[in-house]
Structure 1
Amino acid sequence: MRHARDGAAAAMNAASRILVARGKHEPQELDNPDVAWGQRARDGVWVPTKDGQRIHVGIDVAAGDTVHQVLRPTLRVLVGVDVDTDIVAQTTASGIRLLTVVHGPDAPAEFRFPVSLADGLALEAMPSGGYDVVHLRYGATVGRFYNPWACDSMFRQVKADYALEGQTVVMRVQHEGAYYPVVADPHYSR
């Protein structure tokens, strides 16, 4: 059990340092009763849309049975979900963040988040590099996966972007040559 706590502390420390350096404009961790986390990584999370529906965001990782370490109701850590990879999951006022912490060069460069949408909703690519959740009947944006960012422990930007494979948002992080840990931020908001 000590190893899991140490892993959670390392992931939290890396994510916290990067978020503090990025400044006050980052979405803040906050309780949101409309967000419902599963128990294990593979269970993902249910998040709200602006029109009152919910979508499911999965976390497709090698160690899908990894159980969340709940630090507080709005913050949980998934330690060792893949080679040299942890996820710090935050609830925000309008959605979630899945801060992906890459600890070394053997970590994967792609992270998969399968999305299950309610009837009448679709994912639409945006010029920013993010994806909007669009209500097909009205053409309204009811949720958004913001373009991901990533940076290394020297606070240097690391290239990160999304690709869409079917209904799976794939975050690609080009961390080769970076100073570890690298933190990448997939962020969803209604």
Structure 2
Amino acid sequence: MRHARDGAVTVTDTANQILLLRGRSEPPEAANPDVTWGPRALDGVSVPTRNGQRLQIGLPGPADDRAVTAVRPTLRVFPGVDTDTDLIAQTTTTGVRLITVLHGPDAPTEFRFALGLGEGLSLDAAPSGGYDVVHDRYGATVGRFHRPWACDALYRPITAAYDLDGSVLVMTVGHREADALYPVIADPFYAR
């Protein structure tokens, strides 16, 4: 008999293999008591900034917004967040990684992460393709959404980019144009 947890572990294993092959530049999964996860994708995750404020990140989720599968305290799997799409959320020592797993060409190309910024915080586009969380009064960067990356099952790079729509960070993944072999992994990563 196959359980939902078995599918979550398989998806997680695939994503972890790709992360390992990317090398030491990827921060490892680790416990972080400052990161607070909601019970559903739409509840998202609350993460700290360097100046002690909080940032709320809403995760893409289905209309019925099923509960999360907690594989371990630092790893959550949100199956079926969209057509042919799962989301794996890892806690790191400095923030969160939101690994988006696309299982086929019917998966969307756009993923929306609603942001709740603390008072006096805003987002500025960074030259790298990421977004800095900036303290408006002092101009200091207090957090960062690093430039997203994506690759297919053969580890070939797939284009991934952010855009900002009001207070929503939009990640676009060009998997349909790339003749990708699935699954495709896209990796938004926030760190304080």
TM-score, normalised by the number of residues in structure 2:
0.95
Q: Deviations over 1:118-143 (max 9, x none)?
A: 11000111111100000000000000
Residue 31 of structure 1: SS of its match in structure 2?
coil
Map 1:8-87 to 2 at 5 A. 8-63=8-63, 65-87=65-87
| Residue 178 (structure 2) pairs with residue 175 (structure 1) | no
Partner residue, 2:89: 89
Instruction: Give 2:82's aligned amino acid.
Output: D
* Counterpart code for 2:68: H
Extract structure 1 runs of 4+ deviating beyond 3 A.
none
Q: Deviations over 1:59-102 (max 9, x none)?
A: 13334612111111111111111111001100000100000000
Q: 1:134-166, CA deviations, whole angstroms, 9 ceiling, x for partnerless residues?
A: 000000000000000000000100000001000
Is it true that 1:119 corresponds to 2:151 in the alignment?
no
The CA RMSD over aligned residues, in Å, is: 1.2
> Residues 5 and 71 of structure 2 are in contact (CA less than 8 Å); yes or no, is this contact kept in structure 1?
no
Q: Aligned to 1:6, what secondary structure does the other structure show?
A: helix
**Paired letter, 1:61:** G
Runs of at least 5 residues in structure 1 that lack an aligned partner in the other structure: none
How far apart are the structure 2 equivalents of 1:163 and 1:137?
24
User: TM (normalized to structure 1)?
Assistant: 0.96
In 2, distance between residues paired with 1:104 and 1:115?
27
The Cα shift of 1:17 comes to 1.6
- Summarize the Cα distance change of 1:87–1:63 in structure 2 as closer, same or farther, 3 Å threshold: farther
Partner of 1:157: 157
TM-aligned CA distance change 1:43 to 1:165, over 3 Å = same
Find the aligned partners of 1:164 and 1:3 in 2 and give their Cα distance: 37
For residues 7 and 41 of structure 2, the distance between their equivalents in structure 1, rounded to whole angstroms, comes to 16
- Are the counterparts in 1 of residues 162 and 170 from structure 2 also a CA contact under 8 Å? yes
Task: Give the fraction of aligned pairs with identical amino acids, expressed as a percent.
Answer: 59
